[in-house]
Chain A
Amino acid sequence: MSKQAMNKPAMNKPAMNKPDNPQGTTHKQAFDEPLWWGLFSAGGVCFAVFLPAVILFVGVLLPLGLLPAEALSYQRASAWLFSVPGVLFAGAVVCLPLFHAAHRLRHGLFDIRVGSDTVNKKVMYGAAALLSVLALGVVLAGMLS
């Protein structure tokens, strides 16, 4: 399967991007797409392999009080997060899945024809990048304090 075929048909086609491309004559080569698809795949693996366990333990069992009392106490949780494994945790559980989500949302908006892809792309990947920087920044700040 070629790279073009992997992409959705007409994603970059002039006819589908009228607001951004009134003449509809040029066809820009998208050099950045392999990066977004790569982050999408990596995030997809993390979403499938890591997120079920993280959501189960942190999002369900912890608030329900089904973990041992001190399992995720403030001391324990902060010692774990503000460490080198914590950086990897943030990368695998926050940053990469965010880019996966951004990619799916961008393509989903295109599928239901909401907004223009040129703008959606910047908003989605921009938001994923900002939140990733925030996550890694918090972990690094915790390591330094």
Chain B
Amino acid sequence: MRHTHCTPADHRFSRRAFFGAAALGGLATPAFAEALRKERRQVLFVWLDGGISQLESWDPKPNTIFGGPFRAIPTSVPGIHVSELLPETARQMHRLAIVRSVSTQDNSHSAGVDRIQRGDPKNRGVVYPYLGSAMARWLGPGTSGLPPYIWVKPMNGGFIYKDAGFLGPKYGALALGDGKPPENLLRPADLSADDDAERNELRELADKRYAEKRKADTTEANSYAFAMAAQLQKRVELFDLSKLPEKDRDRYGSHDLGRHLLLARRLLEEGVTFVKVTSYGWDTHGDNFNGHASLVPKFDKPFAAMIQDLADRGMLDNVLVIAMSEFGRTPRINGHLGRDHWPEAWSVCMGGRGIKPGVVAGKTNEKGTDVATEPHDIGHLFHTWFRALGVDPEKQKYYNATQPLPIAHEEMHAVTEVLA
């Protein structure tokens, strides 16, 4: 029987590289560290929750009935234009790709977020993993010593095991509420290291006894959360953005999204496999244009800074960057001067690892009401991202116990125009 979560092949690189290097005495050398860094496969997933308007971002339609008030501006790639609300990202276009032919199935948040982030596969009676959990599964934890799937978000944090679906809790997300480490992470000052170790031994013993009478998945989540906390205890300095140069903080901005993207950069630099950054409040049913005039620049500046920084550090060869929402927004402008939910024809921006830079795939019609080329569902995008990261959806399968499952919708394929 195949193991549910991983196969020996999944660890082939790290084991061979590790022991090979150790045998040569090269484990601690900068060259070895650099070699490891080059082998990393990572993802930055920027989630603009509620739905950024494609017309006020990646697919502007100026001077059309639904085009809104904003202009389109040229980018660093001749012939490609984006909304004037994205001036900084426009300068990074030669490092990015836009898919303008996204057409998905759900126009409600409750269903849309789940379906989009799980890749909307065919229903096989199992809950598929979110993209972050899937990548934690396929790309592994890397060498950071940190959890493979970290979610930086406003408000509360915690261990979000539901993201993992049938993969099991250890592929869940560690959510850093407001970009901070989990509360009570550090050992209290009045508790000695020895006492702490003793307590943990006792806890582990209790966990073991508890687990003997229950399903492994139920107890695994609990143990894994403690293990993650122990990992994070050693790296609390990561969360202290005040030690970063002021210039960096200015470039990313002092608002939530800027601070969280800056933390994401640090986590990626440390080698975390999948970092999701969520910004809430993009559901602009009312006052859409003033809303986007306020919101989009707060995405544009830190996102462009991130792309520049990843490029400067040579990390775009390793890190796949994705910026998206659960859907776009209606071309029609409602009476509240808002735009409603629109899965029919919208856009996703991506770049970095495995992505052809400076291209646009697909297009919408003149008014932006339909995809005018081959429509691409989220399944197409999952194929694209797996391929970009060197995971072949035609060859790889999940195993839910003995049940083989495709890793992306088997009737869809990658958007080859954006693959490098």
Q: Do A and B come from one complex?
A: no
